[in-house]
Structure 1
Amino acid sequence: MAARSAMLTLLLSAILAVGGAAAAKAESSGKLRQGFYSHSCPRAEQLVARYARRHVPRSPSLAATLLRTHFHDCFVRGCDASVLLNGRKKNNGEAEKEAAPNLTLRGFAFLDGAKALVEEECPGVVSCADVLALAARDAVAAIGGPFWKVPTGRRDGRVSRKQEALDQIPAPTMNFTALLASFRSKGLELPDLVWLSGAHTIGIAHCDSFGERLYNFTGRGGAGDADPSLDTAYAATLRRTKCATPTDNTTIVEMDPGSFLTFDLGYYRGLLKRRGLFQSDAALITDAAARADVESVAKGPPEVFFQVFARSMVRLGMVGVKTGAQGEIRRHCAVVNG
């Protein structure tokens, strides 16, 4: 027990040191900073937090979708709220929203409501990108998950392209090598991959996003052609109770069965039982270093996961940010100004 505790302490210390250094570097560069709106819109963060506390408990699944929206936004053109833009004639009407990975995103009305509050208080001051980053944090906190400080000062992008989302958002079919390369292309590292994947503890999926693992993994077809890396009994249960066909795009499956509305360690414990839904989930235990992190957190107290997840969320929120004249402050998050 003492050895396990020491290992967890060392793990946490190492991850916090890496995350802290990255955060300090970003803030010292003037890109983002804590309290960016302290003078121009002092109640901005408070307004978003109150809005989340009022609405998320009534619809707790919002926490997962807002986290996912923030993640998908940051992986395409940086954290600039480009995922919130509607299509325009200039790009053939095909914005990031129309890309397959984003078709199941929701919560846009929630974000519009939060943005309207800060616009009423401080017109033209707070970016949609910052509203999204804050809302993702506050929604997770509203369901009892971790809380992290969000450096602000992002500007909103003016371009949103479907193909870029298709090319850059990590796919659920990726192996470990492809996943790590995707994260590193955004300035993130292996620990970030492991900890940010932990958001799946409150995630849901549709059968068509992992159906081939149940029925057609090698191309032979049928129930006997399941992914051998997926627990046999779990695969059988999914086929029997959830996914009658591999192309079902309406049935919802919990990524952390039994506690998908609770931010806990269930996702990591499920991975070690070979019950991760996506190939990209299962991939985390195919790499020795990633598996060691998964095992350490799965066996430890939730507080360790909360802290490392929070650090990686700060790092994610700094990916490719636009500041100053690089972007604008949209009045409405779905359309560019002018």
Structure 2
Amino acid sequence: MRRVLLLLSILLLLMASCELYYEEPVQRGTVRIVSIGITYENEPEEVAYPEDEEKDQLGDLPGTVFDARELSDALKQQAMRAGWNSADIEVTLLLQEREDYSEATVNDTGYASRANLKSTLEIIQGTTTEDDLTIITYSGHGIEETGELLMAHTLTEGAIDLSLPPSDPESIIVTPEWLYDLIRPIKGKKLLILDSCYSGVFVPESPSSLSWVYDKGIDDWYGKYFSDEEYEIPSFVVLTASADSDSYERKFDDHSHGVFTSALLEALGWNHTTLRIADGAPPSARNGLLSVDSLYKYIKKHQVYPVRWSIFTMDKPIQHPMISGGAMDMLLFSY
């Protein structure tokens, strides 16, 4: 009888757990961080919207470059805190800032163009092993309703034409399919973090999750999670700032950040004054483990804008982060 009670207690404990963890990370291999930040301050002329003359410009996003720089630093410092040597951490920054659109600027390898993103990820494809962790962050515009990302233009004159299809080499649009074709061949664990409007569109279907922001209904979601299919451990997880709505920026004393990125930096223990992480495990870690799910839960609880509407939050915008991966979590660092 005691044995039966013990087994029942263990079963109840397991059922009470809210997620299934990925295998514990081994502090070996290489951590690669690719951070993209685009302010859209260098338009040579007004943006061309042939079908909508009221949308004549890309709005400036002053916090995006700060997002990219500080997130890459915070993630690198957390990797070192978790046991990686600095020589085994590679950081690539793809940035567009200030108003310059000279040929030297737009052709620089560190410029946030679609071509540079493609070449960066192709290089990573050829060098990764199954022990590696690749984290890609993007802070910039997402197209309203459709969610595609907008990279920096490479024009030295003329107007930016957003009507060009993604298949056009001159297009600055990044679709989920285009980006995933570059990320999925990368060996090891991959985490994509997007701070942009309507970025929930990038949350993919997987053997352990089902994206239903636009095309799927609650019945599909319910059927997925209560089917007889086995969950698969994810090697690619997407964490986004918003589901099917705008994302926003917030102002600090001397710089701005995305609301989502601000909460993510806080989750990583980042100090905006010292530009260092705090001592010990980050605030979002649980039992000395930092996972994508623990970051997500911290962001939802601590971001300055509410994740859902209520009568107490009618004066604030709503911004609901999303995550893929389903019941299977991905561990990043242990301390």
TM-score (norm 2): 0.26
